[in-house]
Amino acid sequence: AELVLKACDKPSKINFTYEMSDDTKIKIEKVAKEIYGAGEVVFEEAALKKLEMIKELNLSHLPVCIAKTQYSFSDDAKLLGRAKGFTFSVKDLDIRTGAGFIVAVCGKIMLMPGLPKVPAAVNMRIDADGKIDGLS
């Protein structure tokens, strides 16, 4: 524990993968290549259209989040281990302005829906007779 405390007292520098001022496409490419080990990043048509929209809406300043398989550093669940030089496919981009980031949807993956601060289920009740209230 003492060694950990000593290490915490030393100044440290955070090395970010990308600059916030980088273009969204550059941010995704840097993460894919520098963190995941991709050799090439390919943007499908839907993703390219969203990149244009992001520029038009002046949202390029938002950070990126990569949604991909948990089984691999690549976007391919069958490419196990620390693969290098693979092609990383960006299928689409989800703009999450409320959360303040852009999600790059990569490979075959299903996204979970987000919930509002107060999910509708909080206001639903079932009385003793089985009548459901609060559905609307």
Q: Where are the domains of the chain?
A: 2-111
Rounded Cα–Cα distance for residues 19 and 61 (Å): 9
Q: Domain 2-111 is of which CATH architecture?
A: Roll (3.10)
Phi, psi of 36 (to 5 degrees): -90, -20
Q: Is the whole model's pTM more than 0.85, yes or no?
A: no
> Helix %, strand %, coil % for the chain, to 5?
25, 20, 55
> pLDDT tens digits for the chain (136 residues)?
889 888 888 888 888 999 999 999 999 999 999 999 999 999 999 999 999 999 999 999 999 999 998 888 888 888 888 889 999 999 999 999 888 999 999 988 888 776 777 878 888 899 898 889 888 6
Strands (E), the chain: 40-43, 64-67, 87-96, 101-106, 125-126, 132-133
